[in-house]
């Protein structure tokens, strides 16, 4: 009985300590001051149009300088709202550590295409189809030109952009996407300078696979400079023009 009682008391003491520790971590005391700010960017290996200095600049406009202030008085909601207003940021999470450090976790939007429309409009399209204004950090992305609109880029061209990004071969090859007046698509490769006609932006995965097979099997035999236009518009065909 005594052993059982001691075990019960020990268990209660352990649970009490854990509850105290959790409260201590999750709720800063009125005396705890902010010891500094730590920024974390998720998916840091992917292309982003924003970095830590740009985030700090956004917060500096609101005279954000929490170091040395009472941590409980730091308005985390205002920080989140300010940063979430940036078109280059997807989500923001703010929290503090037991040591008093304020942590700001930023999830950027990742650009997929860089568009230069015929009417002079310039913008980026994210991997989720979100249209972002020109600016931010320069990024090496496929360029879209011609009769491209924001709506088209964020919907009909989104599949093409994802296919080019996810395939290492096309990610290296595709330099420019041209949209004609009908909304049809052509790709200008980075190295050969040819024109790859894809037509309407549908069945794109099959068309790209067909062109890639032609490049890998036929072009080394006939020569890379023999053809000027590679037409993959028609099903199960690749038509070449000198």
From residue 207, alpha-carbon distances to 55, 112, 115, 156, 241 in Å are: 41, 20, 22, 15, 17
84 close to 77: Cβ distance less than 8 angstroms: no
Report the predicted TM-score, pTM, of the whole model to 2 decimal places. 0.79
Helix 158-166 × helix 204-217 angle, to 10°: 40
Query: What averages of pLDDT result for each successive group of 10 residues across the chain (242 residues)?
Result: 57 59 52 88 88 92 81 87 94 89 94 94 95 89 94 91 93 93 93 88 94 89 84 91 87
Domain with CATH 3.10.20.310 in the chain: 36-108
- The region, left, alpha or beta by phi > 0 then psi within -120 to 50, assigned to residue 183 is left
Report the pLDDT value the prediction gives residue 28, as an integer from 0 to 100: 47
Rg (CA), the chain: 27
Report the pLDDT value the prediction gives residue 193, as an integer from 0 to 100: 75
Domain with CATH 3.40.50.11690 in the chain: 111-241
Sign of CA dihedral 196, 224, 176, 44: positive
β-strand partners of 101: 36
The three-state DSSP-derived secondary structure of 172-223 is: HHEEEEEECCCCCEEEEECCCCCEEEEECCCCHHHHHHHHHHHHHHCHHHHC
Q: How do strand 229-231 and strand 195-199 relate by DSSP bridges?
A: parallel
Classified as helix, coil or strand, 113 is strand
Fold of 111-241: Rossmann fold (3.40.50)
114 close to 174: Cβ distance less than 8 angstroms: no
CATH code given to domain 36-108: 3.10.20.310
Cβ-based neighbour number of residue 112 at 10 Å: 26
From residue 162, alpha-carbon distances to 33, 44, 133, 142 in Å are: 45, 19, 19, 11
Report the pLDDT value the prediction gives residue 212, as an integer from 0 to 100: 93
């Amino acid at each position: 009985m005594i052993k059982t009682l001691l075990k019960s008391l020990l268990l209660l003491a352990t649970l009490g300590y854990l509850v105290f520790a959790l409260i201590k971590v999750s709720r800063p005391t009125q005396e705890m001051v902010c010891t500094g700010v730590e920024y974390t960017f998720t998916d840091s290996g992917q292309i982003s149009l924003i970095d830590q200095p740009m985030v700090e600049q956004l917060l500096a406009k609101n005279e954000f300088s929490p170091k040395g202030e009472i941590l409980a008085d730091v308005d985390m909601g205002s920080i989140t709202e300010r940063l979430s207003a940036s078109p280059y940021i997807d989500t923001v999470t703010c929290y503090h550590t037991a040591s008093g450090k304020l942590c700001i976790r930023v999830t950027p939007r990742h650009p997929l295409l860089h568009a230069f429309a015929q009417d002079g409009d310039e913008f980026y399209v994210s991997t989720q189809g979100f249209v972002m204004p020109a600016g931010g950090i320069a990024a090496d992305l496929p360029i879209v030109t011609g009769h491209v609109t924001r709506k088209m880029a964020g919907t009909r061209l989104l599949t093409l952009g994802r296919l080019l990004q996810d395939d290492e071969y096309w990610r290296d090859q595709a330099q420019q996407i041209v949209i004609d007046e009908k909304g049809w698509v052509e790709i200008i490769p980075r190295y050969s300078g040819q024109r790859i006609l894809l037509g309407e932006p549908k069945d794109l995965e099959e068309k790209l696979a067909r062109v890639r097979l032609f490049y890998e099997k036929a072009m080394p035999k006939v020569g890379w400079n023999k053809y000027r236009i590679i037409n993959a518009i028609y099903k199960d065909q690749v038509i070449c023009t000198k």
